Homo-oligomer: A and B are copies of this chain.
Amino acid sequence: MPLHPILATRLDDLLGSRFSQASSDRDLHGRDDSAYAAPPPDAVAWPQSTAEVAAILRLCHEHRAPVIPFGVGSSLEGHVLAVAGGLSLDLSRMDAILSISDEDLDCRVQAGVRREALDRALGERGLLFGVDPGADATLGGMAATGASGTMTVRYGNMRANVLGLEAVLADGSVIRTGSRARKTSAGYDLTGLLVGSEGTLAVITELQLRVHGVPERIAAARCTFPAIDALVGAVIDIVRLGVPLARCDLIDTLAMHAVNEHSGRREPELPTLFLEFHGSHAAVEEEIDTVRRLAAEHGGGEFAWAATTQERAAMWRARHQAFFAARGLRPGTLSYTTDVCVPISRLAEIIGLADRLIGELPFPGPMVGHVADGNFHCQLLVRDEPGERALARAFVDALVARAQELGGTCTGEHGVGVGKRAALAAEVGEDAVAAMWAIKRALDPLGLLNPGKVLPDAPALAAAHP
């Protein structure tokens, strides 16, 4: 169903060549890195300012057209799919870094700024941003999905690093939340509410972010273990001792194999812990001693050090490329990805379950994880056909249900999107879902912002949807 011709004309008048109904543009905006599929959006707009975003939203509001915010399409749960049609709002041209403060350790960026661009700009000033999900996502997208990643164990997730937002509500009104203060108790935490709302409550246009000084010393190493439960045992001891690791990631045997194949490396194909230490020289030395001792107690091997900055970058690139590398394990398939997060004491148990269930599947499923947070990911390489999709779905359902029984959550960092709406309902219960729907209706009464995401269908509300 194309956009209403009057709306299309008005968007064309407003945006000129930055509005398109061409199928090539629509197709590029109709999918993300998930295995979910839907027809593409009806059109794409590339606003260049908050005022343009507001004008677009006012027009879409007037014409009852859904709006789906889009960054780079690196989301993993179908967040950008146009399941109810409408306009894909591509924020990638709003990519200005507006300010960086060395003194206050914060910065302000437009929503379309990408993580690696921000890292470069900060790095030149001796600063770093503490959220690294791997993908070169936009900061707006990272906030919208409540992203975290390899450094969250030390620096927190997006929620902890977003001090404030500028955002456009469904009716085109513009709100600013938070401030440049480190903390605030001033009113409802709209910042925290919009972070993780996946574009269903507002379109994020600017972000005020915490940053950190680059530590005096950064050291990174890999360490193999004979089995995953030994590795997890070591991590539990490390966490309990309060060692302030900067990164602590698991790559399982199969994922290590995929990385080797992909990159021509020859790393041992065993469950491997990727570690990074940030701090003063003395503090890092001490942490390394402690972690090496605890790893050895659990059967961990020698530490393989990334001695130079280049080696360290290469090591983490290998970790982050695991997702793409794994596709090589079974070419021509889709990556059916999932993440769960559990209390760390239950991590070995849930990973063990995942391992057993994957062993029974007819396709490979490498695992990686931010294990110090109790968070891990499985990537199932499934053919695009109903049988394998159903097996993958059943695996995810079983894993999520068990994670929830263990006091965990159906998603630690990928978000709900289209794929985990039922899981969310199971996790928080009917009354909490009703509260979420009440908030959704309060801020977006016509249900125009990214419909079909996050919230389980509310039958009573169906009539209010376009």
Contact = CB atoms under 8 A, between A and B. Distances in A.
A12 to B, nearest CB: 28
Contacts of A296: none
A446 to B, nearest CB: 14
Contact of A438 (B184, B424, B443): B443
State which size class the interface on A falls in.
Answer: 35 or more
Contact of A183 (B173, B179, B290, B341): B341
B186 A416 contact: yes
A373 B192 CA distance: 19
Most buried by B among A195, A373, A432: A432
Given A160-B160, A341-B181, A343-B106, A428 B187 contact: yes
Interface in A186-243: 186-190, 192-193, 195-197, 201, 212-213, 215, 236, 239-242
Contacts of A412: 181-185
Most buried by B among A104, A169, A173, A345: A104
B242 A213 contact: yes
A433 B404 CA distance: 35
Contact of A435 (B175, B240, B283, B409): B175
A229 B156 CA distance: 31
A360 interface: no
A410 interface: yes
B187 A455 contact: yes
Contact of A103 (B160, B177, B196, B236): B236
A101 interface: yes
A197 to B, nearest CB: 6
A429 interface: yes
A283 to B, nearest CB: 5
* Total identical chains: 2
A104 B344 CA distance: 6
A415 interface: yes
A346 B407 CA distance: 43
Given A145-B185, A416-B187, A179 B104 contact: no
A174 B431 contact: yes
A244 B283 CA distance: 11
Contact of A240 (B102, B160, B185, B343): B102
B344 A103 contact: yes
A26 interface: no
Interface in A425-443: 427-429, 431-436, 438-443
A327 to B, nearest CB: 24
Contacts of A432: 175-177, 187, 190
Given A175-B431, A187-B455, A407 B180 contact: yes
A340 to B, nearest CB: 8
Contacts of A440: 188
26 contacts: A101-B343, A103-B345, A105-B239, A160-B160, A169-B431, A175-B429, A175-B432, A176-B428, A180-B342, A183-B373, A184-B409, A184-B412, A185-B409, A185-B412, A185-B414, A185-B415, A186-B411, A188-B197, A189-B193, A190-B435, A192-B193, A193-B439, A213-B242, A215-B242, A438-B442, A441-B442
Interface of A: 101-106, 145-148, 152, 156-157, 159-160, 169, 173-177, 179-190, 192-193, 195-197, 201, 212-213, 215, 236, 239-242, 244, 279-280, 282-283, 286, 290, 341-345, 373-375, 404, 407-416, 420, 423-424, 427-429, 431-436, 438-443, 454-455
